[in-house]
């Protein structure tokens, strides 16, 4: 496996036009993002918890479960993959191991946050953060552990909602000084706050922002992020937020009518799925390697 996906991501984040990263959680969602022409994808810890385990984003997913998912995504798509590693799954030594394991699995960038474990979704109440010095140690461990210098380490702080805006800015300065490749100050509440963040950090390092439906963001689109000097727009749960109401509608139809005929025009069929997933190419490969014997 080559690592050019890491260099591509690092280079793309030098552009002022925000990079759009839809949230993915399995091979199908990653393939759809790639086929739609996006330049990268974001493995959302929230969506992995939602889709695979039917649980909220409250730190219930393990490092090995995320690493397995990274490997599945990397086997299916060549897109750069930004991976949510929550709090690093432990202390600084655990963070170092997480970085090594996730790099081997195919991660392009790793997003590490300063919440207390078990963490919560960045837009939920009741969060707590670790001391800034402890997070600096985790960041240094992550930077030292990476085998490829192009693997991006994104430092996220959730301190704004806990300790206030000034503390979040101070933490971001410390994380940048420690060597973070990008900064993510989670859940600013006003455009004015985002403007301050952009003017203070945007010329020095790529800035990340969450565009999550129902979250606390004062902006709603990537177009609004560019003048604020943000370069990475995450859509962490957009696919699942759209899929879930559609799934409920379909299940209501099946329960009430016993058939999918009334909505067939809005559905894929088996042949469509086989085409999307590359069944023809797999069958040809099987023939090439003697799979038809």
Domain residue spans of the chain: 4-240, 244-288
Q: In whole angstroms, what is the distance from residue 81 CA to residue 74 CA?
A: 8
What does the pLDDT read at residue 124? 58
What does the pLDDT read at residue 260? 97
Strands across the sheet containing 208-210: 182-185, 152-157, 109-113, 81-84, 41-43, 19-24, 232-235, 208-210
Give the angle 127-132-133 at the CA atoms, nearest 5°: 140
What does the pLDDT read at residue 292? 52
Tell me if 215 sits within 8 A of 44, measured CB to CB. Answer: no
Tell me if 217 sits within 8 A of 152, measured CB to CB. Answer: no
What does the pLDDT read at residue 215? 84
Number of helices (H), then strands (E), belonging to the chain: the values are 13, 8
9: exposed, middle or buried (C-beta count within 10 Å: 0-12, 13-18, 19+)?
Answer: buried
Tell me if 188 sits within 8 A of 45, measured CB to CB. Answer: no
What does the pLDDT read at residue 125? 65
Q: In whole angstroms, what is the distance from residue 225 CA to residue 237 CA?
A: 18
| 85: DSSP letter | -
Q: In whole angstroms, what is the distance from residue 12 CA to residue 33 CA?
A: 17
| 115: DSSP letter | B
Under-70 pLDDT residues of the chain: 1-2, 118, 120-126, 291-293
Distance between alpha carbon 258 and the CA centroid of its chain, in Å? 38
From first CA to last CA, the distance across the chain in angstroms is 30
Give the dihedral of Cα atoms 171, 174, 180, 184; nearest 10 deg: 20
By DSSP bridging, strand 232-235 and strand 208-210 are parallel
**Nearest residue to 155 via CA among 113, 121, 211, 123:** 113
What does the pLDDT read at residue 257? 98
Q: In whole angstroms, what is the distance from residue 102 CA to residue 96 CA?
A: 10
- Choosing among 3.20.20.60, 3.40.50.720, 3.90.550.10, 3.40.50.10490, the CATH entry for 4-240 is 3.20.20.60
Q: In whole angstroms, what is the distance from residue 131 CA to residue 61 CA?
A: 23
pTM of the model: 0.94
291: left (phi over 0), alpha (psi -120 to 50) or beta: alpha
Strand partners, 207: 183
**Nearest residue to 115 via CA among 161, 50, 73, 153:** 161
What does the pLDDT read at residue 2? 59
Per-residue pLDDT of 139-158, as tens digits, reads 999 999 999 999 999 999 99
What does the pLDDT read at residue 100? 98
């Amino acid at each position: 496996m080559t690592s050019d996906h890491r260099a591509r991501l690092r280079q793309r984040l030098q552009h002022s036009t925000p990079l759009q990263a839809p949230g993915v959680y399995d091979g199908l969602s990653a393939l759809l993002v790639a086929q739609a022409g996006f330049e990268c994808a974001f493995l959302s810890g929230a969506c992995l918890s939602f889709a695979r385990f039917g649980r909220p984003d409250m730190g219930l997913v393990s490092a090995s479960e995320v690493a397995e998912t990274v490997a599945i995504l990397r086997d299916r798509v060549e897109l750069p993959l930004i991976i949510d590693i929550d709090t690093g799954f432990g202390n600084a030594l655990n963070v170092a191991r997480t970085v090594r394991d996730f790099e081997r699995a195919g991660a392009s960038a790793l997003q590490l946050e300063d919440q207390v474990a078990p963490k919560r979704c960045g837009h939920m109440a009741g969060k707590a953060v670790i001391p800034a010095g402890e997070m600096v140690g985790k960041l240094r461990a992550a930077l030292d552990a990476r085998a490829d210098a192009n693997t991006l380490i994104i430092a996220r702080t959730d301190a704004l909602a806990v300790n206030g805006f000034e503390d979040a800015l101070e933490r971001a300065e410390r994380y940048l000084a420690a060597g973070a490749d990008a900064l993510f100050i989670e859940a600013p509440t006003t455009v004015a706050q985002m403007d301050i963040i952009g003017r203070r950090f945007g010329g020095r390092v790529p800035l990340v922002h969450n565009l999550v439906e129902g979250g606390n963001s004062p902006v709603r689109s990537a177009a609004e992020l560019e003048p604020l000097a943000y370069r990475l727009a995450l859509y962490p749960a957009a696919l699942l937020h759209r899929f879930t109401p559609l799934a409920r509608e379909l299940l209501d139809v099946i329960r009430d009518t016993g058939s999918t005929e009334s909505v067939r025009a809005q559905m894929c069929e088996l042949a469509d799925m086989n085409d999307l997933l590359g069944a023809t190419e797999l069958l040809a490969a099987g023939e090439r390697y003697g799979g038809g014997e």
